[in-house]
Amino acid sequence: MKPATLEFLRQRFMRYYQTGHLIAPPALEEREWGFIFFDPSYPEIRMCRHLAFGGKRELVDYLRGMVPAHAFYSCAYYTSPSAPTMAEKLWNGADLIFDLDADHIARGPYHLMLDRVKEETQKLIAMLTADLGFEERSIEVVFSGGRGYHLHVRDLAVRAWGSQERRELIDYVCGIGINPRSLLAPDRHSTPGWPARYRKALESYLQWLGSLPPEEAVGQIAGLEGVGTRAASTFVQRLPLILAMLHEQTTGPLLKNRIVKMVLSETNKEFLKRLKEHAALADEPVTTDIKRLIRMPSSLHGGSGFRVTPLTVRELPSFDPLIDAVIFGEREVSIEPQGDLSMQLLGNTYKVIKGKISTVPEALAVFLCCRGFAEIAGGS
């Protein structure tokens, strides 16, 4: 990144931190803080961490004076958050954190990736509230400023949970370690949650199989480990009966069927694909890490210039990150793109061409420079 581009970004971020509304997390004095700055090596990551603040005023003064590219705080609460080693900090609990990143979920244009990860976030919220009984008011939704969302669950009942308890929870929402025999048991037919999701995934798979030409359907089943062509052909012929048994709750015989067991195994990618559609595709290591640093809501994301935007559960459906998380405006800025790009922002679509100096709104210039897709034109 050229010095002029680095200074451009630093000045824009400084303007925001001097005038923007900054939100401090609960118990900020008990949290470790970490920052990445606009130094000459940026965007190479060099984090300054093991910091602590005595209150919001001290935190805000630091942000306005130092102007970080990225600001983070710990999900954990510590007795001595500024201690130089994790052992010396003395862990006292942690918020429950979920991270949903579009990079792990979908590929394609940025706006479509954001739409997709928003769907997964809403799915996860439904699991947390309907399945697990968390109250909406205990869940803070945060647009990460980049490619996804964070959920902060601040419920005293889970604050003291260790990594193992959190692993069980993330396994549940991600559908990991599912036991088909338990979920397809006849007495679980009307049970909501994963029993219902599992049946829907199996029904979807069987209906898809039945929609294929017979020889292709047989090939799909014969491709499973240990299943021959003759057995596969018989299974395909009995698909209507198998679907009827699934609907009528007579699933006991199904669970004893050798081919059904292979259909439900982890080697059947077509079934697993449908099962994952019912899971929440959260990043497992983030939830199990009880000392994780997470982006500060209301800070700016140094990889986009977007605001790390806190939301209530009810605000999420109408939230548009390419409008609502955009801080900078339409003042014209000249940039030199490093590649061809088409980008939606602030309700418009912009196109830039590699090497061709373009005049674009400041919001787009900040985004492209943060991403490394452009430099400020002429070094001015």
Active-site residue numbers?
Answer: 99, 101, 283
Quick one: which of 71, 52, 55 has its CA closest to 63? Answer: 71
| Strand 148-153 versus strand 33-37 pairing type | unpaired
Could you tell me how many residues make up the chain?
380
H/E element holding 66? helix 56-66
CA 59 → CA 33, 71, 154, distances in Å?
Answer: 10, 11, 21
Q: How far is it, in rounded angstroms, from Cα 305 to Cα 223?
A: 49
Biggest CA pair distance of the chain: 75
CA 248 → CA 194, 243, 259, distances in Å?
Answer: 18, 9, 20
According to DSSP, the residues that pair with 97 across neighbouring strands are 152
Contact 358, 337 (CB under 8 A): yes
Tokens read off for 370: 């943060």
Amino acid letter, 327:
I
Q: How far is it, in rounded angstroms, from Cα 111 to Cα 27?
A: 35
Amino acid letter, 186:
P
Contact 47, 104 (CB under 8 A): no
Give 242-286 as a DSSP string.
Answer: HHHHHHTT--HHHHH-HHHHHHTSTT-HHHHHHHHTTS----HHH
